[in-house]
Structure 1
C-alpha cells in the first residue's frame, strides 16, 4: 500500500480550466475489455435563429438556438454561457430524437436558474475561471438528434428593452457513459459509444409528440454556529470552524492509504482502483471496506453501537440507511478536483429537486447521476458534483460530492448556505408532480442519520450565517428549520412546490427515526 495524504483544500480553478482527455477511465482495469465507458460531453455553439423563431413583440432581441440536427448519442442536455453571474431572462427549450424509436419529442423546458445551486460568493470554487452560467440539465434518455431555441423576454408593459441573452450560449450534450452495473465495454472513441441503459417496464411515459437543417459543430470532449433548541452538542465542534465571511473550508488534512490493487467487496470480483478512486473510497473506510459499491444499512441499535463513545448523537440518531457509493454509481473520479473540501459541522440539511425531469427509470438513476456530475464539473465548471446526496424515485440514496458520507463535506447546492450544511437532491422535477413516497421516506431516513451524527433535531431550528445571496446579505445570521427547502435560503422555485410541501412530513418522520419523544 502506498500512503497518500489527501489534503482538504479549497478549489483550484486551473484544474478545471484544463481540458480533460475523452478516453480517461476512472478504473485501472487489468484488461482493456474491463474498462467502463467514462462518458463524454459535446458542446455546440448556439446561433441566431431565423426571423420566424423570434417573438412577435417588437424590440425583442433575436432568439438563439440550434436547428434540428443529427448528433452523436447523448442522454442529458443543458445550456451554458460565459459569465456565471449573468442571468438568462427568457425561455430555453429543447426537443430530442429517441435512438430507440426515431421519434422527436415535444418541446421541453429547461430550468433557467441553476446559479442558485452554486458555491458561495467569494469562495475559491466560485472564483474559478472555469465556472460558467447555465440552466439545469434535463434527462432525455438515449437520443441522437437535438433542436434548441432560446427566446429572450419581451419588453415590459412600459416598453423597457428586454435584457439581451447572455454571451457565449452553448448546448451541452452529455453521454453519461457506463457504470458498474452496465457491463464492461472496451475503451474507444467515446463520441461513438452507444448508451446502454435499457428501458424498464416501469418506465414513465415520455412526452410523445413529434414534428418534422445545420451549422458547424465542435466537440470539446470536456468542456455556522448552530443554535440548537434541544441543547445537544455538536460532535464535530461547537463553532463553525470556517470563515463565515468567505464560507471557506477548515483546511484540515485527512490522511488515507491507497494502493494500486485494491479489491472491491467480496463476491464482486477483484477490480483495480485508480489513486483517485482509492482516495474517494478511503474517506468512507470507517463505514465500509475500500472499493465498496454500497454502504449497508444498520438498525438503530447497530448505528448507536457503531458510534464513538464521545458522540453527542446518542440516543437521538436514526438508523444508518443503505447508501450507494460513488464507486457504486460509476463516478469517474478523474473528472473532479483531487482534494476534498470540508466545513466544520452539519447544522442543517437543504432539500432540492434536480429539475432534470421525471422520465427516467430506477435502473437509469445511476446514469442520470453520472450525467449531472459530468455537467456540474465539465459544463458548469464546479469542483465536483454540487449535491452531497441524491435520492431517486425508488428511494435509493446515493453518495454525492466526494469526501465521506459521514463527514461535513462542503457542497455547492444552496448559494449562500453551503457552509455547515448538507444538500440532498431528489432526482426529478416536482413543481407540479408529486414526489414518490419512497423518495420522501428516503430523505427522512437520510436526514435522521446524517443530522443525528451532529446532534441535530429534525424538528428544531439552526442558526446559519449567510455567505451572500438574494434573500440574505453576506454575514447575516439566519434562523432556519434544521431541514429546510432550497427556497428558504435563496429565492428560487427549488425544490418545487410539491416536494416543498412534504418537508413537514420529512421533519416529523426523521424525528421519529431518531427516537425523539
Structure 2
C-alpha cells in the first residue's frame, strides 16, 4: 500500500492550547511517505488513549497539535463503532477552528467480495488545502487511525479537457433528422439523438489514478433503475486545478485505507459543472459502485464535490447532475420522476430484504442514516427530477 505507518510517541500533558513543535529544521511529528509509482504521499497514525490520545477536562480525547509534512486531505478511520471525530489543521494563516468529520456511510454491498476485504470504516475525506499541522478530538479511546494524504500536483491538472463531447464516443445515442427553419426562411437538417445524450465526461486518464491501487475487478448489474445523489462533505473553495488531485486522494483513501476495489462513486461533479468518471469499468456500462450502502445494486452514484448542508450548489453543478442522470436512466428506458421498488441489501436505515419505494433520483439520506447530500442540495432534487425527465422525454 505504501502507507507511512507512524508510531506516535506521547510526551507531556495535552490541552486545547498545546502548541505544535516549531523548532526550525526539526523533523515533523508525522512524515508522509510517497507511494510507489505515484505522486501521492500519505501517512497513517494509530491513535489510542495513552498513545496519542489524552482526555481533557470535558472528557473528550485529544491528540497534541502535531506537526506534519505538507498534506491536503485528512480523515480518521476505525475498526468498529461510530465515534464522533473533529479535526483542526494548521495552514499559512495559522490554526483553524474545529471541523466535524462526517461518518462515511458509503460502502460496498454487504457480503460481497469487496465488502469482505473492507475491514475499516471511517469519516469522509476532508479537503483542507496545503497544511502542515493537525489535531484530533474524538469520543473514542482506542482503535483509531489518523489518515493524511497529499495527492500531489501534475501540470496537466490545470489543463484538463473532457474525453468526448455529448454526441461523440462510447454511449452516444443514435440520431434522427430534424428539420429547422433558418433566418432566411429555408430549411436545413440537423441531427438529434434518439436518447438523452452522453454529456461531456472527464475520464480517468485525466485525473491519473494509480492502477496499482485497484483491489479486484469491476462488478456489473443487470439494469440501472436509480441515481443516488451525494456530496463529498468536503470544502467548497477548491480551484479547477485542484479537482484531479481531490479525485486522486479520494481514490487512494477508498482503496488503500478502506480496502475497496476502486473509488466508490460512479461519477463526480465539481462546482464548475464538470462531470468526472469515477469508478472504472466503463461509463456507459452498469458498473456497481460502493456509494450507497445497501442500495449499490441497480443504481448509479453521483457525488458533487463539496459540502451542501449550509451552502447552495452552483447552477453548473445542478445542470451536470441533470444531464448525467438523464443519460444513465434513459440508457435503460427508465423515467427520472416517480418512485421504483428496491430491495435493501442491508443498510443502517433498512435491513437486508426490506422492500422500499424510492425516488428514481434520490438523496443518500433516503437510504442511509446520513445528512448527505446536504440540506441545500437535497431540497433541489424535485427540480432535478423534473428537469431530467424533461430532457429524456425531449430526446426520446
TM-score range, shorter chain: 0.7 to 0.9
Which one of the candidate residues 465, 489, 493 is aligned to 2:367?
489
- Match status 1:126 vs 2:123: no
**Residues 316 and 508 from structure 1, CA distance in 2 versus in 1: closer, same or farther, beyond 3 angstroms?**
farther
CA distance in 1, matches of 2:162, 2:327: 20
- Match status 1:446 vs 2:315: no
1:298-317 map, 5 Å: 298=167, 303-305=172-174, 317=195
- Match status 1:178 vs 2:167: no
Structure 1 residue 338, shift from structure 2 partner: 4.1
Structure 1 residue 315, shift from structure 2 partner: 7.3
Match of 2:166 in 1: 297
Structure 1 residue 306, shift from structure 2 partner: 7.1
Which one of the candidate residues 260, 266, 269 is aligned to 1:391?
269
The SS at the match of 2:174 is helix
Match of 2:186 in 1: none
Which one of the candidate residues 118, 125, 139 is aligned to 1:137?
125
Question: Does the 8 Å CA contact 1:47/1:65 hold for their aligned counterparts?
Answer: no
Between 400-409 and 130-139, the greater mean CA deviation after superposition:
130-139
Which one of the candidate residues 14, 24, 47 is aligned to 2:36?
24
CA distance in 2, matches of 1:473, 1:389: 26
**Residues 82 and 167 from structure 1, CA distance in 2 versus in 1: closer, same or farther, beyond 3 angstroms?**
farther
Match of 2:182 in 1: none
Structure 1 residue 54, shift from structure 2 partner: 4.1
Match of 2:69 in 1: 72
1:264-303 map, 5 Å: 294-298=163-167, 303=172
CA distance in 2, matches of 1:40, 1:379: 13
- Match status 1:87 vs 2:87: no
Match of 2:347 in 1: 469
Question: Does the 8 Å CA contact 2:124/2:232 hold for their aligned counterparts?
Answer: yes
Match of 1:107 in 2: 98
Structure 1 residue 44, shift from structure 2 partner: 1.1
Gaps of 5+ in 1: 1-14, 26-36, 153-164, 183-196, 198-267, 269-291, 308-313
Match of 2:227 in 1: 349
Structure 1 residue 439, shift from structure 2 partner: 0.5
Match of 1:148 in 2: 136
CA distance in 2, matches of 1:398, 1:321: 10
**Residues 173 and 23 from structure 1, CA distance in 2 versus in 1: closer, same or farther, beyond 3 angstroms?**
closer
1:182-331 map, 5 Å: 182=157, 294-298=163-167, 303-305=172-174, 317-331=195-209
Structure 1 residue 466, shift from structure 2 partner: 0.8
Match of 1:360 in 2: 238
Question: Does the 8 Å CA contact 2:217/2:261 hold for their aligned counterparts?
Answer: no
1:102-129 Cα distance to aligned partner (Å, 9 max, x none): 5222222211x21x2111221221121x
Calculate the TM-score normalised by the size of structure 2. Answer: 0.81
Gaps of 5+ in 2: 6-32, 177-191
Structure 1 residue 422, shift from structure 2 partner: 0.5
Question: Does the 8 Å CA contact 1:319/1:513 hold for their aligned counterparts?
Answer: no
The SS at the match of 1:378 is helix
Calculate the TM-score normalised by the size of structure 1. Answer: 0.63
The SS at the match of 1:96 is strand
**Residues 373 and 23 from structure 1, CA distance in 2 versus in 1: closer, same or farther, beyond 3 angstroms?**
closer
1:37-72 Cα distance to aligned partner (Å, 9 max, x none): 430220112243444x342xxxx5xx3332112211
The SS at the match of 2:205 is helix
Question: Does the 8 Å CA contact 1:358/1:428 hold for their aligned counterparts?
Answer: yes
Structure number with higher strand proportion: 2
1:302-339 Cα distance to aligned partner (Å, 9 max, x none): 943279xxxxxx97632211111111112112111242
CA distance in 2, matches of 1:293, 1:506: 23
